Chain A
Amino acid sequence: MVSLQLNAVEARYGRKVVYAEASTPEIAGGRLTALVGANAAGKSTLFRRIAGQLAGKGEVRFVGAGLHDLRYMPQDTGMTAALSVYESVILALKQGRGGWRMGAGELAAVDEILAGLKITALSGRPLSELSGGQRQLVSIAQTLVSRPRIVLMDEPTSALDLYRQYEVLEYLRLYAADTGSVTILALHDLNQVMRACTMTIAVAEGRIVAAGPTLETLRPELIRQLYGIEARVETCSRGCPMMIVDRAVREG
């Protein structure tokens, strides 16, 4: 089984230290883990540190996987390259593997991920013509096509409509279960987090302020600390926990 753990990890940009000593319990593979926190709380920084893009002391411990099994999906940005969707997914598969020839297995992997995310119809479309939501789906395909064992995704559903949000989270849940991979998603919608993610890590101002099973972790006090809002966790008529926001308590 794949797992990931941070032990007193430092993350910095040049001399600017963002995380001094970030530690987590062991994050197990096979299920979804959420990374939550306000804007600019340091979610992307933590991802980049785990992905090996930032320097710092401390230990990022992978069990059953290495850095080469890791794929990180950054937040959505425009893609202007003159490539089709299909080519961009091939690129994501081949970068790091090398070789100019495409094996039948490699093409099958690309077909499979596009079909899985139901975007086969976009195959021939130029990247520059995609809508924000389509671009996000293509990004997800790029991230998963090599079947990485550690997956870090920065707001993978932020540009998707409700139907797609549900579908993608379901797909990611199945992906994690199927591959046993450690899959961490930075998400803003806490109801999504409660439904889809077994474990939650919360960050604020460059510190990991809580980490554990989602329902135990997402308490009203923590929500208030993270986002400056007053919220309740209630149980809906079908027995699912859901979060209701009452008011903002932080000024500005």
Chain B
Amino acid sequence: MTSLADLQVPAETGHHPYRRLVLRRILILAGLSLLLALSVAVDVSLGPARYALGEVVATLLQPAQAEAQMRMVVWEIRMPMALMAVTVGACLSLAGAQMQTILANPLASPFTLGISAAASFGAALAMVLGVALVPTALALMVPINAFAMAMVAALLIFALSTMRGVTVETIVLLGIALVFTFNALLALLQYFASEQALAAVVFWTMGSLTKATWTKVAVTALILVIVTPLFARRAWALTAIRLGETRAAAMGVPVRRLRLETLVLVSALAAVPVSFVGTIGFIGIVGPHIARLLLGEDQRFFLPGSILAGALILSATSVLSKAILPGAVLPIGIITALVGVPFFATLIFTHGRRQW
């Protein structure tokens, strides 16, 4: 009688192409990191006063030897903005990536689930009515209101998800309902707002990095630093869930628990940047899609890939927002969509047809 061992052809081919694939992906990640570093340097060199890239790099590497005024501009004004683009882009892209993962929906992002619409409404409450949802210092009222409302939206979605028999489709539908509700509430506030307040609300909803400070950069980075390892530990389970709930459960993934945990992490990841910079809608969808096209959905690569792709897109957008009209900084939320869409469409039509 034959046995299993007799059947087996010498295992010749399988893992060699796989090793090459892994190497290629590591190189892609390295390439993205390099581009990101370059983009940040260019970002810092641009502004009302233009500095040569070499000078900027020198100031960044050896601040002590730089001219005082340049050090001030580079380190206190431009670096926070440039790094804010990086951290916000990374957070939003990672949030979108994991939402798409757990909800099995390519359109899921912090924005399609109403988290940013809620944040906008919270911010508008502060700007139009001067209402603080949480008692706080005046300067922090807008971001804290935005964060509080974003968490309210996230909690609603979370509460629904814990109910028995709720499918991912129901969650997505509730998210869309929340988007419309908060947008309507926002419109209502705008209708009654003074001209000044209206301008502030409109500007806020366009998204802008100009109010970046080192503290905001640090808080956003901190969220990323806390959340990323938690996702990394769940890398295989999150990859497995993309094979479908039944298959994932059959592989021993606690699907419900994983989905709830991810929802909590994603909410924090989305709410913080939105409350600091306003609505920047496109990154949460596009970042993960680019990472998926370049690296596939093995979370060992997809996770860092989403972070890097989101950071790179927003950083490059920040460069463009300064370069298009010399002397002016266009709201970054507008540029993300205008520049991102054609780029994204090109990617999809060239080699993205198979996924989803």
Contact = CB atoms under 8 A, between A and B. Distances in A.
Nearest to B253: A95
A14 B166 CA distance: 13
A174 B2 contact: yes
A95 B356 CA distance: 22
Contact of A83 (B235, B250, B296): B296
Contacts of B247: 74, 77, 79, 139, 142
Interface stretch (A31-39, A114-122, A182-190, A196-204): A114-122
Given A74-B247, A74-B250, A171-B7, A83 B14 contact: no
A123 B355 contact: no
Contacts of A139: 247
A99 B141 CA distance: 43
Contact of B21 (A72, A84, A97): A84
A95 B4 contact: no
Interface in A112-141: 112, 114-116, 118, 120-121, 123-124, 126-129, 139
Contacts of A179: 4
A252 to B, nearest CB: 29
A162 interface: no
A97 B232 CA distance: 14
Interface string A89-105: 01110111110100000
B194 to A, nearest CB: 49
A123 B17 contact: yes
Contact of B4 (A80, A83, A107, A174): A174
Contact of A95 (B10, B15, B246, B252): B252
B246 A178 contact: no
B31 interface: no
Most buried by B among A80, A84, A92, A107: A80
B246 A80 contact: no
B231 to A, nearest CB: 12
Interface in B244-301: 244, 246-247, 249-253, 292-293, 296-298, 300
B164 A14 contact: yes
A81 B297 contact: yes
A126 B297 CA distance: 11
Interface residues on A, range: 35 or more
A86 interface: yes
A73 B244 CA distance: 12
A231 interface: no
Nearest to B235: A100
A82 B297 contact: yes
Contact of A123 (B14, B244, B250): B14
B243 A82 contact: no
Contacts of B137: none
B237 interface: yes
Interface residues on B, range: 35 or more
A72 B239 contact: no
Contacts of B215: none
Contact of B18 (A91, A100, A123, A127): A123
A121 B12 CA distance: 11
B62 interface: no
Contact of A96 (B10, B242, B251): B251
A8 to B, nearest CB: 25
B11 to A, nearest CB: 3
Contact of B239 (A14, A68, A91, A121): A91
A89 B292 CA distance: 19
Contact of A174 (B7, B11, B249): B7
Q: Which 9 A-B residue pairings sit nearest by Cβ, starting from the closest?
A: A111-B11, A81-B242, A178-B4, A111-B14, A107-B15, A95-B236, A82-B297, A72-B250, A74-B246
Given A95-B236, A115-B11, 20 more contacts: A71-B250, A72-B250, A79-B247, A84-B18, A86-B18, A87-B298, A90-B298, A95-B240, A95-B252, A108-B11, A115-B14, A118-B9, A120-B12, A120-B14, A126-B354, A128-B355, A174-B3, A174-B4, A177-B3, A177-B4
